[in-house]
Structure formats: C-alpha cells, structure tokens
Amino acid sequence: MRDGLCRFAFTLRQKKDAMAHLYKAGQMVELRSAPKHSSRLSGPCEILSCLPHDKGPLLYRVQSQLEGIQRVVEEVDLSPSDISKATSEPLKSVFSIAVRKR
C-alpha cells in the first residue's frame, strides 16, 4: 500500500514539473501580435508574474515595453528575447529634442 502511495506522489510531482512555467518574473520576452480581433502589438515585454495554474494554458502577467500596459497572456504567445531590462526602456519622444524650455 505504501509503495503505491509513493508512486502516486512521484507521478503527481512529475506532472506538476512538466507543466511548470517556462519563464520567470523579471525576465524579458517577446510578445507575439494578437489575432485580428485584438489591438495587442508585438514587441518586448517583462514578465511581472506567473499566474497560478491547475489546468488549461499557462498564463503570465506581462507589461509591454512599447505600450506600457499590463496584460495576461498565454505562454504560447511569448518567445525568448535577447533584450535586457536596461535596453528595453521606452525610447524618448523624437519631439523632446526639438522642444526645450528657454
């Protein structure tokens, strides 16, 4: 009886590890653009948190570096990125150069 319980616990642990989140909080990734019915842009984003998971797709809360807004997205919509946090900050407006206080 005890051996069966140990095997069951080991199997559950294997399944949980197999469904672990691929990305970690603080990591930079590339967000794929959404289907036609959404206005989501593709581009760099930061993983803010890995959302709890029981079944269904693995979900993340991310913040887009281009839009500056947070979204919940599926893991399949993300891909690894070579960009780092320091270089992914939004660029300053081109107009900030031309408009200066005197």
Average pLDDT over residues 30-38: 79
26 Cβ contact list (under 8 Å, min separation 6): 46, 47, 85
Domain boundaries, the chain: 22-87
Find the largest Cα–Cα distance for the chain.
83
Burial class (CB in 10 A: 0-12, 13-18, 19+), 88: middle
Asked if pLDDT for residue 101 goes beyond 80, the answer is no
DSSP letter at 19 equals T
Q: 44 pLDDT band (50/70/90 cuts)?
A: very high
Q: Where are the alpha helices (DSSP H) in the chain?
A: 2-18, 95-98
Q: Identify the CATH number of the domain defined by range 22-87.
A: 2.30.30.140
Predicted confidence (pLDDT) at residue 21 exceeds the cutoff of 70: yes
Please list, in sequence order, all residues whose beta carbon lies within 8 angstroms of the beta carbon of residue 41, skipping any fewer than 6 positions away.
Answer: 31, 33, 64, 66, 67
